Amino acid sequence: MDTSFTEEQIMLRKSTADFLVEKYPEAKVREMEESDTGHDPEIWRGMAELGWMGLVIPEEYEGMGMTFQDLTIVLEEMGRNIAPGPFFCTVLEGAYPILDAGSEEQKKEFLPKIANGELIFTLALLEADDIHDASGIAVKAAPKGDDFVINGTKLFVEQAINADYMIVVTRTRAGASPEDGITLFIVDAKAPGIHCEVIPTIGMEKLCEVSFKDVAVPKKNILGELDKGLPIVSKVMERAAIAKASESLGAMDGIVPMTNDYLKDRVQYDEPLARFQALQHIMADMFISLTTSKYLVYKAVWMESEGLPCAKEVAMAKSYVNQNYKELSRLMIRLYGGNGTHREFKPGLYYRRAKAASIAFGDTGFQREKIARAIGLVS
């Protein structure tokens, strides 16, 4: 396993960090959180000019043809800067599924426009029971002439208010098991019969409720095979889980040095807080947690980039980061003292994002069940 970074990746990290520090000062992050859309088209165009949306899209579709590991470097820096917007859902939930399962016609139609920043994508998967497996899919798509007609409601659809297209996971027939009869469709997000409403969440990341009422979708917009879409969903979930862990890792790597610096600068009883042994021990534990998280995440990222089976490693990394991102943000607030509870300081931003990230693409319990299956405890 080689988790070291190449010279090109170090340059990518620096250019990414420079852009995000300039474009996402804390005031801008708060402004975007509180806006109706959580999206800044000007910043989006800047990302497109840097090639970020096309980072993992092959050159034949006007992308940069880079690796998943390269993408996670960008995601780490986004997490460090708490950068909002539709980048994650467009690339992880839009471009990758089309790369994995799209027809050549679909790839030629959508991937260049994603790479150039012309299209925003998202994935409509979860429903009212918030179950991540096939048993939670109840939204129906029924054939009608040359179309399928979709009816039902999806929840927690990221950035749906800004999306041009949604990849919608539907049930097209009742099979012998819940895994049968799952089909994915590429759906115009502005099609007649679609209603979208933002759900208030602690992370303020513009998750939406999307209802479909007799929404007609051409059969050519089926992504993958009819009734056999579950493997596509499973791959999206696995890849997005480690991508979200990478984003969270970047935030953790922001929390720890920021808190360390605060303890050295903040004076109480005529001494820097860093001189107090109890706080030193807490800070030491935070560094241990960060270092362990890096090992688990970088290993899973490397395996994914190499095309190796890594479901267990992804679940281990996501489970551990879920817990420790929340814990580090909580300790940050604790060590900042009263300042940690003030809105003008950063700890609260990280804390809210940590809560939201910990349930995205499978919470800790979900990941632990995957680990238990992977090690043979359950079938």
User: Which pLDDT score is estimated for 215?
Assistant: 98
Dihedral angle sign, alpha carbons of residues 360, 363, 369, 372:
positive
Q: What is the mean pLDDT of the chain?
A: 95
Q: Note the pLDDT tens digit of each residue in 160-181.
A: 999 999 999 999 998 778 889 9
User: Which pLDDT score is estimated for 178?
Assistant: 85
Which parts of the chain register pLDDT below 70? Answer: none
User: Which pLDDT score is estimated for 218?
Assistant: 97
* Single-letter amino acid code for the residue at 169: V
Contact 225, 260 (CB under 8 A): no
As given in the structure block, the two tokens for residue 85 are: 């917007």
Question: How far apart (Å, rounded) are the C-alpha atoms in residues 202 and 18?
Answer: 28
**Domain 122-228 - what CATH class?**
mainly beta
Provide the residue count of the chain: 379
- Every domain range in the chain assigned CATH 2.40.110.10: 122-228
CA nearest to 91, candidates 40, 57, 44: 57
Q: Which residues neighbour 379 within 8 Å (Cβ) at sequence distance 6 or greater?
A: 373
Q: Note the pLDDT tens digit of each residue in 320-375.
A: 999 999 999 999 999 998 888 877 778 999 999 999 999 999 999 999 999 999 99
CA angle 137, 142, 143 (to 5 degrees): 145
Q: Which residue has the tokens 């490397």?
A: 302
Domain at 7-119: CATH code? 1.10.540.10
CATH architecture of 231-374: Up-down Bundle (1.20)
- Every domain range in the chain assigned CATH 1.20.140.10: 231-374
- Every domain range in the chain assigned CATH 1.10.540.10: 7-119
Question: How far apart (Å, rounded) are the C-alpha atoms in residues 273 and 260?
Answer: 10
User: pTM for this structure?
Assistant: 0.95
User: Which pLDDT score is estimated for 110?
Assistant: 98
Q: What is the DSSP letter of 39?
A: -
What CA dihedral angle connects 105, 233, 209 and 130, to 10 degrees? 170
Contact 317, 300 (CB under 8 A): yes
CA nearest to 169, candidates 191, 187, 145, 192: 187
For residue 142, the surrounding DSSP H or E stretch is strand 140-144
